[in-house]
Structure 1
């Protein structure tokens, strides 16, 4: 994240019982320009807010809808306990930051920024992993195209790979896509150059 976010207009759901901590938290969110809703019931899957702040001391597994998946929005945990199990629960829920109880007004903004930054970083990494997994999944096509070039042009594997790579670069296509075209017969075999 290059710049700190402006939370004006953000919808924040605080999943916590009403108490003095939530009063300070809601007041600070209002000063940051965020619209907050306080609830002590499971968060629904429809109308996910821009950010969730959850009570990690008393939270349970079905409180947030994204158990075992990536959170749909940044998550901040409110934590008054040092219990390892409660910290682990907060991490399992996707918390990117923790605000210690009792809530100090000066802790809210940094925690929100940290949670947003970590959420964005997680999304970027997940997209990159998905891209790389797709390329790995398509690697057999590249191998098959290289074998075909080896047999047709009577060249070694290294030279066949270089031919495929050079052709892909000239056409500005990923090697996997060009290999799929060649194997599928939609693309003529590149010439040895």
Structure 2
């Protein structure tokens, strides 16, 4: 049983073992949006010492290179307007904010990029590994939660559709909701379709007939 299955039964997913997380860091593809100064060079060198594959850019690109695993973003006043909507995408790589001072504008930018961790300037080796582990784990959990929410929304939508189709059959055939569901289930098995597909067909047919009836009565 995988983590999603466990979570679906009400049990929280367990974090990855720290040995796995640390091993994973050595294969990361990291994008660094930081000026090419001493701090930028120090950040790149420290990440390469960990074993990461690093690409550094300044000014920031409109979006990170394809297949980027983690982004470091220096939140400098003159580049805060360069933050694009890619960071709000559920599939975007986790971002780590690089701060050299704090004020409300920088804090707002940190929230805009949905930073999963923070490192401060001047860059030091201490704290960098922790920020990477934290960002990766939070990013991993966020993606799992988004997928889980999408599946739940799909299930809720399907349940509503089936219920609407049951109501249509109850009115047309004067049967109970249980009998209406059995009719849909039997049709689904006979046609090798899902109950949701049969429900959609019933709803569409009802809409067409209702529209036709409305035009004919005028």
Length-normalised TM-score, structure 1: 0.73
Question: Counterpart of 2:25 in 1: which secondary structure?
Answer: coil
Partner of 1:107 in structure 2?
127
* Contact 2:88–2:114 under 8 Å retained in 1: no
- Pick the structure with more helix per residue: 2
Counterpart of 2:164 (choices 144, 149, 168) is 144
Partner of 2:16 in structure 1?
2
* Contact 1:8–1:32 under 8 Å retained in 2: yes
* Contact 1:56–1:78 under 8 Å retained in 2: yes
Partner of 1:55 in structure 2?
74
Partner of 1:191 in structure 2?
none
Length-normalised TM-score, structure 2: 0.66
Offset of residue 160 of structure 1? 4.6
Structure 2 CA distance for aligned equivalents of residues 52 and 28 of structure 1: 14
Structure 2 CA distance for aligned equivalents of residues 174 and 40 of structure 1: 52
State how 1:25-174 maps to structure 2 within 5 Å.
25-45=43-63, 47-48=65-66, 49-58=68-77, 59-64=79-84, 66=86, 68-70=88-90, 72-151=92-171, 154-157=174-177, 159-160=178-179, 163=182, 167=185
- Kindly report the root-mean-square deviation, in angstroms, between the aligned alpha carbons of the 2 structures: 3.3
* Contact 2:31–2:64 under 8 Å retained in 1: no
Partner of 1:189 in structure 2?
none
Offset of residue 35 of structure 1? 1.9
Q: Deviations over 1:42-91 (max 9, x none)?
A: 22447332221010243413245615534621211111222132122112
- Tell which has more relative contact order, 1 or 2 (C-alpha 8 A, sep 6+): 1
Q: Specify every segment of 5 or more residues in structure 1 that has no aligned partner in the other structure, as ranges.
A: 186-193
Aligned residue-pair number: 182
